[in-house]
Amino acid sequence: MIELEGVPELIDPVMVAAFEGWNDAGDAASTAVAHLDREWKGEVFAALDAEDYYDFQVNRPTVFLDNGVRKITWPTTRLSVVRVGGDKPRDLVLVRGIEPSMRWRSFCNEILAFAHELGVEMVVILGALLGDTPHTRPVPVSGVTSDPDLARTMDLEETRYEGPTGIVGILQEACTHAGVPAVSLWAAVPHYVSQPPNPKATLALLNRLEDLVGLRIPLGELPEDARAWQVGVDQLAAEDSEVAEYVQTLEEARDTAELPEASGEAIAREFERYLRRREPGSGPGGPGVAMEGGDAPFLRDTGSGRTRPPKPEQPGPEAVPGAEAAEGADVAEEPDAPEAPQGPADGSPGRGRDTGKDTAPDPSTDTAADGDAGTDTGTDGESDK
């Protein structure tokens, strides 16, 4: 049984998770959770034992100097709490880390134990996929769930995916079997510009999360970063006539496919977001403002008798939707993620950068890690989806 010390009683808490690796193209998902943690001053209250879940030859620890003293940061997954004030306060439990190398079922059970102990009402898992989507258009974000009732009430897609999966798919199914409502939000990242960061995809994920949980999320400099990113890609594309022609082809296909949707629901959702951002009280103590939480708590696992102090946070990685990758891009089947619009005929998505490696394998010989077995072979580009 898990005992949490120093964590206050939370208000309608929602758990938001993202993992570096196969599920995180352009570092879009992990950067989104890092943004929430930074803007709302999250307090780390627990860190999973890195020895239990990570292969340090795949995800290596890092050494740094702190006032002349050498210290080590170990790859792991950390949990933090943010208190969101305002007229309709709602707290978030943020889960950010690296896709585990092994023991996925135990990993998910430990995350769920925290969710039960904190009274989490819903789990939202963020992911990003490589797809045939132009960088000049809004980033497509799909919301999927395994729960038919949740799909109807929250206007989500009921997942029909079959194939290899990553920790996002495994955690979502674990939540479903445990009776915890779970949703995955997937952003489609252009496969021809998959290198991180991708602030435009991060911004799209945060906007969709804002709609889902009903909170006004402070965006900081993200909108400006997204515009600068698109201008930079525009300039690169303009220097290569073949790339420019390819982007135009993607634009035409996207515009044709989305023409019937250029009304109704999408416009209403955008207008609601606009109104939410105009609400009064957006300053200190108003909607979407974090409230300081006091002393950092500690976690005690009574089964092992270990007390774990909060550890420093760690940045996050990437992945992408059903896409024929451009020459040289790493492509893999996309587990448990919705098919990206304009994806390849077989619906298989590309995958994101594998943290801890420098080069990508030949797509023809790349194989996805088995989510049930929970083992990471260490092959570059094989962070499980």
Q: What is the DSSP string of 269-327?
A: HHHHHHHHHT-S--STTSTT-EE---SPPEEEETTTTEEE-------------B--PPT
pLDDT at 91: 93
Cα torsion through 19, 192, 336, 160, rounded to 10: 160
Q: Is 277 within 8 Å of 86 (Cβ atoms)?
A: no
Which element (helix H / strand E) includes 34? helix 28-39
Whole-number pLDDT of residue 87:
75
Contact present, 130 and 352 (Cβ < 8 Å): yes
Between residues 203 and 90, the one the model is more confident about: 203
Phi/psi region, residue 281 (left: phi>0; alpha: psi -120 to 50; beta: rest), is left
pLDDT tens readout for residues 217-269: 999 999 999 999 999 999 999 998 898 999 989 988 888 876 655 555 555 55
Residues contacting 291, CB < 8 A, separation 6+ = 83, 84, 85, 285
In the Cβ-directed half-sphere of 373, how many Cα atoms lie within 13 Å?
Answer: 8
Give the pLDDT confidence of 299-310 residue by residue, as tens digits.
333 343 333 434
- Please tell me whether residue 70 adopts helix, strand or coil conformation: strand
Q: Worst-scoring range by mean pLDDT, 178-182, 186-190, 250-254, 332-336?
A: 332-336
- How wide is the angle at C-alpha 168 spanned by C-alphas 304 and 73, nearest 5°? 50
In this prediction, residue 369 carries a pLDDT of 39
**Least confident span in 105-109, 226-230, 286-290:** 286-290
Taking only the tens place, the pLDDT of each residue in 45-92 is 999 999 999 999 999 999 999 999 999 999 999 999 998 877 778 899
Length of the chain: 385
CA 297 and chain centroid, separation: 25
